[in-house]
Structure formats: structure tokens, C-alpha cells
Amino acid sequence: MTRGNDAIEISGVSKFYGEVLGVNRVDLTVMPGITGLVGPNGSGKSTLMNLIAGLLTPTKGTISILGLTNREPQLLYQHIGYCAQVDSFPPRMTGRQFLINYLRVHGFDKRSAAHLAHEALTRVSLLATADRRIDGYSKGMRQRIKLAQSICHQPRVMVLDEPLNGLDPMARAEIIDLFLELATGGAHILVSSHILHEVDLISDRVVFLSNGYVVAEGDVQGIQGEIKHHPIQIRICSEAAPVIAARVFDLPDVVEARLHDDRRNVFVRTRNADRFFLAFNQMIMDHPWTIEAVSPVDESVEAVYQYLVADEPVSQ
């Protein structure tokens, strides 16, 4: 499992709160890039992120961050940036003061701390309000100052728990661009979010959690292809949709065909997408139908989430 000192290695990790399960027997190797954590409330996302960030100690198992463990905390925390889901700020402090004080605790001198704080405030588009007190910030501004804190010391690993909460669409787009820029530069970014299409948009890899267990991991298309017991759904858009809905049952492996209310779209479920596409192409050649679009609708985080996680009971 070891990939060297450029990886986050999670080996046999379990965390229990008394008799309550947080996560159980988690084995993951996280390489540079953006990894999305997906699961319902109580699935273990925050527990796993807190374990990686060093805020919790595993009940069992080991976690190695770039070759470092919590036995070397001074070295370890130089490389980790953390953005919590909840707000907690010192009273009466401005955004700039908050970052400078944080950097000073990290060991930076005054000049370096001021420079790094300025740079982080610029990257999250908060420079204009840097000298206002945080207790007067809006929710979106508080979210951005937390993100600035997580990146200001230039860590190689960022653990971001619901980092897009409270941001308007423009700010979301800017922060997503920042994540992509940091990942391109070789950073490890772990992101949890309930906004599944955004996880789909930015993640190189997705980890699905349910009831404290990792139920699937990898790129979305690869995971979807391994879900053998769920037929794949395909959308066909055509003026001949009612006729197609009746005729597709002649093709192999079709288990369902549902005509949309607009009578221009058919949703077909098949156990073998490759074989369906070949057979459907032949059917099109034999009939005078105009086909506007044929596309899979299950190759997304949200679809796989529904398959793997959404209908399962939550035990936490």
C-alpha cells in the first residue's frame, strides 16, 4: 500500500466514541489532487477528516501524512491546513490579525506572517475587508477567512470540511478555481460537501462513506461500472420517443424503459451499456428516427451516491 512520502496513508483505522462507531477499518491511500468525501450525515466524513487533520487519535490503526505521524506533531502540522465546518474565532479580532496571529503561532516572524496573511487574503478575495472585525463578517466572509487560515502557511495537505457552505455562486466559482490551482501545484485537498455536482466537478477521486465504512472509492465512472446489481440508466431524446420506448425492449439487457412526461425523452435501464449502445445504433440505422441525444445519466457523484449510500440507514 505504501506509495512513499507523497501520500496520505490510512491503514486499518477505526475510531470509537465509547461504544459509538465513528469510522471502522478504513484503508485509504490519498495521492496529490482533489479527493471528495461523500456520505449522509453521520456517515463518518467529519470523523475521518478530523483523524487526518490530527484533531482525533485513532482507536486502532495508523495514519501517515507525507511520511509523518502524530509522533512528530511539530513537523506534521506544518504540512496540514484545516477548515472546520463550524465557526470559532477569537473575539474582537480583524481578519488580518487573525491570520497573522495564527502564522506567528506556526513560528513565522512578524514580517513573514504579514506577507503570508496578505497573500492568503488576496487569494480568497477578502483583502478589501481584511481590517474589519470578524464578528461583523457575513457568513460567506467568515467561510473565506477560514479558508485563508487553512492555506496561509502554504501546507501540502488541506482538509476542508464543507468549505463551500455559505458562499454565493461567484465566490464558489472563485474558491473552486483556487482548489484546482492548488491541486495542480501538487497539494492534497480533501473536500467534503453536500453539493454533489460540485464534488463531481472538482474531484479527481471520490470516497463514499456510510455508517462509518468506506463503501467505494475511485473515479466516479470506475465505481459506477463496478455496481453490477444496479442497471445503468441512459437518456434518449427524440421526437420518436414514444415509439422508441416500446421498441427498446427488443434489445438485449434492457430492464426498463420510461417515457418522460415531455414525450421527447426516454430513460432506459440496461445491465450492459456497451452492448445496448451497439444494438441501439443498429436499430437507429433500421428506422427513420431523428435522435437528438443519447447519454448516460448515472455517471455522476449524485447517481452513485444514491446507489451506494442514500437509502442506507444511519447508525451514528
The structural domains of the chain, ordered by start, are 8-224 (3.40.50.300), 232-297 (3.30.70.100)
Cell of 146: 477560514
Cβ 23 vs Cβ 14: under 8 Å: yes
Greater confidence, 11 or 225? 11
Q: How confident is the model at residue 57 (pLDDT cuts 50, 70, 90)?
A: very high
pLDDT in tens, 171-209: 888 999 999 999 999 999 999 876 666 777 788 898 888
Compute the average pLDDT of residues 48-54: 93
* Residue 165: per-residue pLDDT: 83
How far, CA to CA in Å, does 179 sit from each of 59, 151, 161? 31, 10, 13
Top-confidence residue, 313 or 73: 73
> If we measure between CA atoms, which residue out of 214, 208, 230, 243 comes closest to residue 296?
230
Whether pLDDT at 309 is above 70: no
Average pLDDT over residues 15-19: 89
Name the burial class of residue 212, with classes exposed (0-12), middle (13-18) and buried (19+) by CB atoms within 10 angstroms of its CB: buried
Question: What pLDDT digit, counting tens, does each position of 20-49 carry?
Answer: 889 999 999 999 999 999 887 788 889 999
Q: Which of residues 151 and 69 earns the better pLDDT score?
A: 151
- Predicted confidence at residue 316, as pLDDT, reads 38
If you ran DSSP here, which 8-state letter would residue 54 be given? T
User: pLDDT confidence of 149, banded at 50, 70, 90?
Assistant: very high
What percentage of the chain has pLDDT greater than the value 90? 53
Could you tell me if 313 and 210 are in contact, meaning their C-beta atoms sit under 8 angstroms apart? no
- Calpha distance 245→251 (Å, rounded): 11
- Residue 57 or 274, more confident: 57
Average pLDDT on 137-141 reads 92
Average pLDDT, the chain: 86
pLDDT at 240: 93
User: Exposed, middle or buried, 85 (CB in 10 Å: 0-12/13-18/19+)?
Assistant: middle
Q: Which residues contact 78 (CB under 8 A, 6 or more apart)?
A: 106, 153, 155
Going by pLDDT thresholds of 50, 70 and 90, the confidence category of residue 234 is confident
Of 12-21, 89-98, 210-219, 250-259, the poorest mean pLDDT is in 210-219
Rounded to the nearest 10 degrees, the angle between the axes of helix 169-184 and helix 139-151 is 10
